């Protein structure tokens, strides 16, 4: 069998050389004092933890990601529930309708929100015409709210699809059994349906929370100074300041946070399953 190892080696070598090795190089750079030369040092990491601004930005990034995940969950669970339990006829069409924007450019979708939210933008005009807001502008653009709205828009389809898949697997016989044991609809939902769909919820949370931590385009376009996140620090270090070593250290810290949150969330899934 292992004569066929040539079949898999191109893909594996490519991934090793251009995905795994670069990560190690990144760690190495994060430990250098100056550019490609310099001596080994932990100063870059020390800088990160000593300057309050970076810790504050990291905390803000985590908070924004939590908000995005929570709002996505609040939108997605009812949507998935509706698709599985209330609408049978159109659910494939709905699934398709949710999938299509999900694969279209994130950049363009963030830009679309900029168009909608800016002062004198469409939303501003419409709300004023409907007399829902007064003469003062909406003032949403260049705030963290704009970033959160766009990120929910970009990431919540992941959540709908994973919850949908887990709700679809819930055995209707269990629901019937719960009813026949005199449980009301709410009790049935809380004690039967919700626990059974937990793996879907956790997977969905991973798929929304993890990419949220690494964004920089959406905050750059929509966030202004109030909405900056840690991903932007990394981009700035590489493109504006040429502080590659510090940038590599921040990237590695971000990666550690991502891996840690994935580990915690997936352990949660295992415990509940």
Kindly state whether residue 170 participates in binding another protein, applying the rule CB under 8 A: no
User: Which residue shows structure tokens 């670069």?
Assistant: 22
Size of the site for another protein (CB under 8 A): 88
Report residue 126 as tokens.
């419409």
Kindly state whether residue 11 participates in binding another protein, applying the rule CB under 8 A: yes
Q: Smaller CB distance to another protein: residue 43 or 76?
A: 76
Among positions 180-209, residues that touch another protein (CB under 8 A) are 207
Q: Cα–Cα distance between 89 and 94 in angstroms, integer?
A: 10
- Residue choice 103, 135, 172, 271 for contact with another protein (CB under 8 A): 103
Q: Cα–Cα distance between 159 and 165 in angstroms, integer?
A: 10
Among positions 211-270, residues that touch another protein (CB under 8 A) are 211, 213-217, 220-221, 231, 234-235, 238, 244, 247-248, 251, 254-255, 258-259, 262
Q: Smaller CB distance to another protein: residue 139 or 214?
A: 214
Are the beta carbons of 148 and 205 closer than 8 angstroms? no
| CA 226 to each of CA 23, 60, 150, 201: distance values in angstroms, whole numbers, following the listed order | 31, 10, 15, 30
Q: Cα–Cα distance between 105 and 43 in angstroms, integer?
A: 38
Kindly state whether residue 53 participates in binding another protein, applying the rule CB under 8 A: no
Kindly state whether residue 74 participates in binding another protein, applying the rule CB under 8 A: no
Q: What 3-state class would DSSP assign to 32?
A: strand
| CA 143 to each of CA 59, 138, 148, 211: distance values in angstroms, whole numbers, following the listed order | 16, 11, 9, 20
Report residue 165 as tokens.
């898949």
- Residue choice 42, 46, 100, 174 for contact with another protein (CB under 8 A): 100
Q: Is 120 left (phi over 0), alpha (psi -120 to 50) or beta?
A: left
Are the beta carbons of 79 and 90 closer than 8 angstroms? no
Kindly state whether residue 57 participates in binding another protein, applying the rule CB under 8 A: no
- Residue 254: CB minimum distance to another protein, A: 7
- Residue choice 138, 146, 161, 193 for contact with another protein (CB under 8 A): 161
Residues 6+ positions from 183 with CB-CB distance below 8 Å: 191, 192
- Residue choice 87, 241, 260, 273 for contact with another protein (CB under 8 A): 87
- Residue choice 75, 133, 265, 268 for contact with another protein (CB under 8 A): 75
Q: Smaller CB distance to another protein: residue 113 or 178?
A: 113
Residues facing 40 on adjacent strands: 32
- Residue choice 41, 45, 62, 121 for contact with another protein (CB under 8 A): 121
Q: Smaller CB distance to another protein: residue 112 or 183?
A: 112
User: Which residue shows structure tokens 């190495």?
Assistant: 28
Q: Smaller CB distance to another protein: residue 65 or 178?
A: 65
Q: Smaller CB distance to another protein: residue 95 or 183?
A: 95
């Amino acid at each position: 069998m292992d004569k066929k190892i040539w079949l898999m080696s191109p893909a594996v070598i490519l991934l090793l050389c251009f995905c795994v090795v670069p990560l190690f190089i990144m760690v190495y750079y994060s430990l250098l004092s100056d550019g490609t030369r310099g001596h080994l040092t932990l100063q870059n990491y020390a800088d990160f933890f000593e300057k309050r601004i970076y810790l504050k930005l990291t905390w803000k990034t985590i908070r924004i990601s939590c908000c995005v995940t929570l709002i996505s969950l609040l939108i997605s669970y009812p949507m998935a529930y509706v698709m599985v339990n209330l609408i049978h006829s159109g659910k494939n069409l709905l699934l398709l309708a949710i999938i299509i924007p999900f694969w279209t450019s994130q950049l363009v979708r963030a830009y679309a929100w900029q168009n909608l939210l800016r002062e004198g933008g469409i939303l501003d005009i419409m709300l004023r015409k409907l007399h829902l807001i007064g003469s003062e502008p909406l003032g949403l653009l260049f705030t963290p709210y704009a970033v959160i709205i766009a990120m929910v828009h970009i990431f919540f389809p992941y959540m709908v699809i994973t919850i949908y898949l887990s709700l679809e697997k819930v055995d209707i016989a269990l629901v019937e059994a719960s009813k026949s044991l005199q449980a009301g609809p709410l009790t049935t939902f809380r004690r039967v349906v919700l626990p059974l769909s937990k793996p879907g919820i956790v997977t969905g949370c991973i798929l929304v929370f993890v990419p949220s931590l690494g964004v920089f385009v959406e905050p750059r376009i929509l966030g202004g100074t109030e909405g900056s996140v840690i991903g932007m620090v990394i981009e700035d270090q590489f493109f504006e300041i040429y502080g590659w070593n510090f940038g590599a250290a921040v990237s590695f810290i971000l990666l550690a946070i991502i891996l840690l949150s994935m580990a915690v969330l997936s352990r949660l899934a295992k415990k509940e399953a």
